[in-house]
Amino acid sequence: MITVDRVRSRSHVVVGSGVAGLTAALGLGDAVVLTKSALGAGSTGWAQGGIAAAVSAGDRPAAHAADTVRVAGGLAVGDVAELVTAAAPDRIRWLVELGARFDRTRDGSLSLGREAGHSRRRIVHADGDATGAELIRVLRDAVRSRPDIEVIEHALAVDLLRAGARIAGVVTIDADGGRTAWMTGSLVLSTGGIGRLYARTTNPPEVTGDGLAMAIRAGVRVGDLEFVQFHPTALAAMLDPLPLLTEALRGEGAKLVTGRGLRYLKSVHADAELAPRDIVARATWQRLAAGDDVFLDATGIPDFSSRFPSVHRLATGAGFDPEGAPMPVTPAAHFHMGGITTDARGRSSAPGLWVCGEAASTGLHGANRLASNSLLEGLAFGARIATDIAGTAMPAPDPRRVTVPIDGLDAGPGDDGIVSAVRGIMWDRVGVERSGKGLGEAVEQLAALGKTAGTVEARTATTVAAAIASAALARPESRGSHFRTDHPDPDEAWARRTQIEHPPVATTPLLGWIARGAA
């Protein structure tokens, strides 16, 4: 008999320890941070690009917001773009106060990089291309120094607790294999994206869509799931995940060329290599699909190893010499614009649940995210959520009303082989280019796999992948990162975000579950 081994209550429970979750926890106080591996593991620490912020003399948040909206395929929410870009300079100041060491010019001002889709240099970075690592360093230190923030590592969140329409907490499988029911008046999900559901990804192993799966199972509104961003320049090495070759390289002059030396992006977009990411990824994919090899030629960048130490380390570790020769590249799943739908305060459709970071669909990114807006979104929404929760004073849930999904009670952690099958289907049929036929097949295959999923990981992968494939099938047009070969143009009738509430799975009273197990 599977049981809950521990029941605990906290004023605030934060799931996930990337930039968004740690920012929320620092703002909230009196919180527990639950994280599935080590504190700070996950996408944030791997971020190479940086944090977009209008901090230079000639720049304005309004210009940053305009760039954000311009590349987003008509689906960005203007108000959200405005509030996030307006918050950016203050968020950078906050990080500097926490001790972040950003790269600076000789005169002491922030050194600003350029990335695709930005109309000017505005990317704040650290140690060249190791911004995420610096962010995690300062946020982790700040959290560790706070006695009112408890951190539980190696706690895998598996299902949301509900009390009627309200979210009342979360169940974790812990390092010792036991289960804890965490009850709270305010649950913050910051569980990251879904990149690991694709055979080719730049994302670390932790990024498996856990929050999205839990929300779908609880009937919480999710949206824009079809919009998966593929980064155009992952290093085409025999590695999993694929090393990222940051877009900042193209900002410093690196070129994309075919094996015959053709700079193919010149005929695709006026900004060539600095065109919006969806355009560069698709053009690159089409070259590969046509049988060309594609390379990123960064040999013209001076002082490469000191300016891009992370890329240099990753590339040389994989046997490539970025200074000596062009490097082979492929698009790879990188970021999910879709997720758990939130409003501008970070509130989900279910009272008691807030969401931030890549797990959220706030409307900032629309159908295609502007480079280096993701760390910023986590910083901005993590802080907004803390403020919103402080003014909300949600009462603790009544334990007698709390329920937990029945069908997940006996699932344990581990990969039973289903996850790798899911990753292959997603890459082959729900990738850079999709078709109605391929998506229909993916939906069927994923549903069949879902029926046999026996572990939490397999259940999460099949649940989330099926929802993404179905959303892609349901959008018969091309927009931003979502490209349908059978509907290659945008359709004005579809110039809207998608919002879905899946039917919640059946639940059973938490107290009964504990009592049965104890009996």
Stretch that binds ligand SIN, among 25-33, 142-150, 188-196, 240-248 (CB under 6 A): 240-248
Q: Which is nearer to ligand SIN, 34 or 84 (CB)?
A: 84
Helices (H), 391-490: 418-429, 436-452, 456-474
Q: Can residue 247 be called a binding residue for ligand SIN (CB under 6 A)?
A: yes
User: What are the strands of the beta sheet with 499-500, ordered from one edge?
Assistant: 360-361, 339-341, 222-223, 499-500
Q: Which is nearer to ligand SIN, 230 or 335 (CB)?
A: 335
Ordered DSSP codes for 357-410: GGGEE-SSSTTSPPTT-HHHHHHHHHHHHHHHHHTT-PPPP-GGG-EEESTTTT
Residues 406-445 that bind ligand SIN (CB under 6 A): none
CB 130 within 8 A of CB 149: no
- Pattern 365-404, ligand SIN, x by CB under 6 A: ------xx-x------------------------------
Of 444, 440, 447, nearest in space to 463 by CA: 447
CA–CA separation, 220 vs 516, rounded Å? 28
Of 376, 500, 381, 440, nearest in space to 21 by CA: 381
Half-sphere exposure of 95 (CA within 13 A, CB side): 36
Q: Can residue 252 be called a binding residue for ligand SIN (CB under 6 A)?
A: no
In this structure, the strands spanning 222-223 and 339-341 are antiparallel
Helices (H), 160-257: 210-218, 248-251
Q: Which is nearer to ligand SIN, 128 or 352 (CB)?
A: 128
CA–CA separation, 482 vs 121, rounded Å? 27
> 204 is written with which tokens?
């670390």
DSSP structure class, residue 192? -
- Pattern 41-70, ligand SIN, x by CB under 6 A: -------xx---------------------
Active-site annotation holds for 179:
no
Residues pairing with 297 in the sheet: 255
Residue 125 DSSP SS3:
coil
Q: Which is nearer to ligand SIN, 113 or 397 (CB)?
A: 113
CB 162 within 8 A of CB 397: no
- Catalytic residue (one of 196, 200, 250, 277): 277
Closest distance between ligand SIN and the C-beta of residue 242, in Å? 13
Closest distance between ligand SIN and the C-beta of residue 26, in Å? 23
Closest distance between ligand SIN and the C-beta of residue 225, in Å? 19
Q: What is the dihedral of CA 203, 205, 210, 213, to 10 degrees?
A: 80
Closest distance between ligand SIN and the C-beta of residue 198, in Å? 15
Q: At what angle do helices 436-452 and 418-429 cross, to 10 degrees?
A: 170
CB 298 within 8 A of CB 322: yes
Q: Which is nearer to ligand SIN, 185 or 232 (CB)?
A: 232
- Pattern 89-128, ligand SIN, x by CB under 6 A: ----------------------------------------
Q: Which is nearer to ligand SIN, 180 or 203 (CB)?
A: 203
Residues 134-193 that bind ligand SIN (CB under 6 A): none
Residues 318-347 that bind ligand SIN (CB under 6 A): 335
CA–CA separation, 255 vs 253, rounded Å? 6
Closest distance between ligand SIN and the C-beta of residue 248, in Å? 6
Q: What is the 3-state secondary structure (H, E, C) of 20-40?
A: HHHHHHHHHCCEEEECCCCCC
Q: Which is nearer to ligand SIN, 191 or 202 (CB)?
A: 202
Instruction: Provide the 10 A C-beta neighbour count for residue 344.
Output: 17
Query: Which residue of 201, 208, 246, 362 would you call a contact of ligand SIN, by CB under 6 A?
Result: 246
Q: Which is nearer to ligand SIN, 372 or 470 (CB)?
A: 372
Residues pairing with 360 in the sheet: 340
Closest distance between ligand SIN and the C-beta of residue 247, in Å? 3
Indicate the residue whose CB is closest to ligand SIN. Answer: 49
Count, residues near ligand SIN per rule CB under 6 A: 9
CA–CA separation, 23 vs 40, rounded Å? 12
- Does the bond joining 204 to the residue before it have cis omega, within 30 degrees of 0? no
Q: Which is nearer to ligand SIN, 185 or 431 (CB)?
A: 431
Q: Can residue 251 be called a binding residue for ligand SIN (CB under 6 A)?
A: no
Closest distance between ligand SIN and the C-beta of residue 138, in Å? 19
Residue 480 DSSP SS3:
coil
Closest distance between ligand SIN and the C-beta of residue 116, in Å? 8
Closest distance between ligand SIN and the C-beta of residue 11, in Å? 33
Question: Using CB under 6 A as the criterion, which residues of the chain lie in contact with ligand SIN when the complex forms?
Answer: 48-49, 246-248, 335, 371-372, 374
Catalytic residues: 277
